[in-house]
Amino acid sequence: MHRPAARTLPLLALAGALVATGAAAPPSAAPPPAKVPVAVGYGGAVASVDADASAAGIAVLRSGGNAVDAAVATAAALGVTEPYSAGIGGGGYFVHYDAASRRVQTIDGRETAPATATAGLFQENGLPIPFEEGQTSGLGVGVPGTPATWKSALDAWGTRPLRELLEPAEKLARKGFTVDATFRAQTAANEARFRDFPATSKLFLPGGALPVVGSTFKNPDLAATYAELGRKGTGALYRGPIAEDIVRTVRKPPVDPAATRKVRPGDLTAADLRAYETKRQAPTRIGYRGLDVYSMAPSSSGGTTVGEALNILERTDLGALSETQYLHRFIEASRISFADRGRWVGDPAAEDVPTRELLSQRFADARACLISPDRALTSPLAPGDPRNPAPCATTGQAAPTTYEGENTTHLTVADRWGNVVSYTLTIESTGGSAITVPRRGFLLNNELTDFSFAPAAPGVPDPNLPGPGKRPRSSMSPTIVLEDGRPVLAVGSPGGATIITTVLQTLTGHVDRGLPLVDAIAAPRASQRNQTTTELEPGLWNSPLRAELEAIGHGFRQNPEIGAATGVQRLPDGRWLAAAETSRRGGGSAMVVHPRGTP
């Protein structure tokens, strides 16, 4: 492995970032805990998009729970306060560093397709159906993996019973949380869909209207569901009355009779739910600048795609480049690795996925050969062949990147013993399928729309077509970075396929460009996914860098907001730093157990 001089990770925040000064409060309806994007201290750290959720995790750490316990409590609280991004109706990927064994392990809690699914799941008369008809439907609902993920994580590494860890979230659902502008805006964006499902509109449009900013939002049905899972275990979601309700809802979505929307049923069965299992495959690992970067293996494309891009970038000293050349290299590495992801990555239980080869430095070097300092590549770019890498060679036909929604949520936790969790979870679109399970208080996912509805290009093999029991390809990239076998950094983000570029940009911003973690997260983002144009946030769109990149052939379009990352970092003095967004999605929430010694 090529190893240029290892870099010292930059430490604390630059001016402008707020720093936590107070201890986390237990969850309550009012006032919510203060939301700050960076916190430094001892005893462990939590970073999530939501202050009530981070506080739930901190409360667990403070009472002696470990990072896995806190991650489950935080995730459960996110199911209450971020119900349009994640919840027990969805799935996700859990990456864990175990301080005792010094190992990184993962849980694949991805949703699965019904046993009857075929490659034509989203086709009619041989043609793909409109995306919206897959999204707002029973057809797009996969078997939820989130409750089983919590069980797998707690069975393997937890120290607290699920019932205890669900209590803060249950209380939050029962007593309510304070509605903020992001929650109202996300509800507004879904209003038309939500109105078509009485159970959804009753819950999320209280009194028939959008929730008012500053009001208290309660979800007693979800509180009761959490209480039932606490009493009976997460198996209660996979067999018994809750499972029966899920199956009934998917097979005959409870639509308002006045709705004009075509809502397709799904073919999920009780047997599909009973058969669900998480997977414990090995993480991806690559070496980068003397660090070991671990992430999620397929069925997520996160680990292989971020890993390949880092391997491509490792041959260049990104820290020594101009900002323009850094962005150029970052965009090109993203473009190339997305071309390879599209051709080679799908669910390894159903497809022959060359995970090891995609992560080889030899393959990365063969692909890096395509990058020129003064001329941008054009997309769609054809993939390379990881099993037969040859410099600058491509294989087969180029295919565009298929659509993925831009939602999801990520949380990052570290504890006093040095255990770390990086966990990304989702219900796919913002608002998922828009279908609430009546009287249960949670939305069902539309994760199966992460499958390609049809081959990405005619005649090009597509490893991401639906199949029986198959997991749709994800972009989730929960990442943990080790130095000399100990965690120094963990990051992740929501954002559909932009997750990959967000994690890549955050890692290179921090490791190579010397940005403190909170500033690497806040930096304006670009996202290239083997598409003709690269998306730019306003901070880059409105900067002179755009013209400089256009002069070497890049094309751009605007995206107002890409991703919503969180991370933790271990400082050399043993303190933990938690970092979150300064403004995206209304800003994130970083907390530590003992916020002492802040700069």
Residue ranges of the annotated binding site for L-glutamate are 110, 450, 474-475, 496
Alpha carbon 132 to its chain centroid, in Å, reads 21
State the minimum distance, in angstroms, from the CB of residue 405 to ligand GLY: 6
User: Which residue is associated with the tokens 């190579």?
Assistant: 512
Stretch that binds ligand GLY, among 101-109, 234-242, 305-313, 474-482 (CB under 6 A): 474-482
Query: Measured from the CB atom, is 446 or 534 closer to ligand GLY?
Result: 446
The mark string for 11-50 relative to ligand GLY (x by CB under 6 A, - otherwise) is ----------------------------------------
With vertex at residue 213, the alpha carbon angle to CA 210 and CA 217, rounded to the nearest 5 degrees, is: 70
Binding track over 413-442 against ligand GLY, x by CB under 6 A: -------------x-x--------------
Binding segment for ligand GLY (CB under 6 A), chosen from 22-30, 77-85, 258-266, 472-480, is 472-480
Instruction: For 309-368, give the DSSP string.
Output: HHHHHHTS-GGGS-HHHHHHHHHHHHHHHHHHHHHH-S-TTTS---HHHHT-HHHHHHHH
**Nearer CB in complex with ligand GLY: 177/294:** 294
Angstrom distances, CA of residue 424 to CA of 71, 113, 455: 10, 20, 27
Quick one: which segment of 359-367, 470-478, 504-512, 542-550 binds ligand GLY (CB under 6 A)? 470-478
Binding mask 475-494 for ligand GLY (x = CB under 6 A): xx------------------
Query: Rounded distance, CA 305 to CA 344, Å?
Result: 11
Written as one string, the DSSP assignment of 451-473 is S-SS-SSTTS--TTS--TTPPPP
Options 149, 408, 493, 566; binder of ligand GLY; rule CB under 6 A: 408
Count CA within 13 A, CB hemisphere, residue 134. Answer: 26
**Is the Cβ–Cβ distance between 519 and 17 less than 8 Å?**
yes
- Site track 199-218 with ligand GLY (rule: CB under 6 A), x = hit: --------------------
Nearer to ligand GLY, 178 or 408 (CB): 408
Q: Residue 440 in contact with residue 268, Cβ under 8 Å?
A: no
> In which element (H, E) is residue 412 found?
strand 409-415
Tell me the C-alpha distance between 67 and 196, whole Å.
40
Handedness of CA 354, 360, 366, 372 (dihedral sign): positive
Q: Shortest distance, CB of residue 347 to ligand GLY, whole angstroms?
A: 12
Residue ranges in 368-387 that form contacts with ligand GLY under rule CB under 6 A: none
Nearest approach, Cβ of residue 450 and ligand GLY (Å): 5
Min. distance of Cβ 117 from ligand GLY in angstroms? 17
Query: Residue with CB nearest ligand GLY?
Result: 474
Most distant CA atoms of the chain, gap in Å: 65
Using the rule CB under 6 A, is 106 a contact of ligand GLY?
A: no
| 304: contact with ligand GLY by CB under 6 A | no
Cβ density class 455-487: b for 16+ within 10 Å, e for less: bbbeebbbbbbbbebbbbbbbbbbbbbbbeeeb
Place of tokens 């802040």: 598
Residues contacting residue 511 through CB under 8 Å, at least 6 positions apart: 7, 9, 288, 289, 291
Using CB under 6 A as the binding rule, whether residue 496 contacts ligand GLY is answered as yes
Taking the C-alpha atoms of residue 401 and residue 283, their distance in angstroms, rounded to an integer, is 24
Indicate if 81 belongs to the active site.
Answer: no
Q: Which is nearer to ligand GLY, 419 or 531 (CB)?
A: 531
Nearer to ligand GLY, 426 or 531 (CB): 426
Which CB atom, from 109 or from 211, has the smaller least distance to ligand GLY? 109
For residues 478 and 296, the answer to whether their CB atoms sit within 8 Å is yes
Q: Could you tell me the smallest distance in angstroms from the CB atom of residue 447 to ligand GLY?
A: 6
Residue from 70, 312, 499, 593 in contact with ligand GLY (CB under 6 A)? 499
DSSP state of 240: S
Distances, alpha carbon 559 to alpha carbons 237, 271, 469, 508, in Å: 37, 42, 34, 21
Segment interacting with ligand GLY, rule: CB under 6 A, options 21-29, 257-265, 377-385, 469-477: 469-477
From the CB of residue 373, how many other CB atoms can be counted at a distance below 10 Å? 11
Binding-site residue positions: 110, 450, 474-475, 496
- Closest to ligand GLY by CB, 218 vs 470, is 470
**Which CB sits closer to ligand GLY, 168 or 478?**
478
The minimum distance between CB 408 and ligand GLY, in angstroms, equals: 5
- Regarding 136 and contact with ligand GLY (CB under 6 A), the answer is no
Residue with smaller CB distance to ligand GLY, 66 or 85 = 85
Residues touching ligand GLY, count (CB under 6 A): 10
**Rounded to the nearest whole angstrom, what is the least distance from the CB of residue 73 to ligand GLY in the complex?**
23
Q: Give the C-alpha separation, 359 to 305, whole Å.
A: 8
Place of tokens 């396929």: 497
Residues 506-545, mask of contacts with ligand GLY (x by CB under 6 A): ----------------------------------------
Least Cβ distance, residue 274 to ligand GLY (angstroms): 24
The pair of three-digit structure tokens given for residue 345, joined into one six-digit string: 């990555």
Length of the chain counted residue by residue: 599
Distance of CA 232 to CAs 74, 151, 168, 237, Å? 20, 12, 17, 9
User: Measured from the CB atom, is 366 or 490 closer to ligand GLY?
Assistant: 490
Q: Side chain identity at 168, as an amino acid letter?
A: P
Cα dihedral 94→99→103→105 (10° resolution): -10
| 227-235, 311-319, 471-479, 509-517 -> range binding ligand GLY (CB under 6 A) | 471-479
Separation CA 379–CA 525 (nearest Å): 19
Q: Catalytic residue, from 200, 225, 304, 408: name it.
A: 408
**Least distance between ligand GLY and beta carbon 573 (Å):** 36
Which one of 139-147, 192-200, 468-476, 481-489 is the stretch in contact with ligand GLY (CB under 6 A)? 468-476
- Minimum distance of ligand GLY from residue 226's CB (angstroms): 23
Residues 562/498, Cβ–Cβ less than 8 Å: yes
Indicate whether 474 belongs to the interface with ligand GLY (CB under 6 A). yes
The residue ranges that bind ligand GLY (CB under 6 A) are: 404, 408, 426, 428, 450, 474-476, 496, 499
What positions carry a catalytic annotation?
408
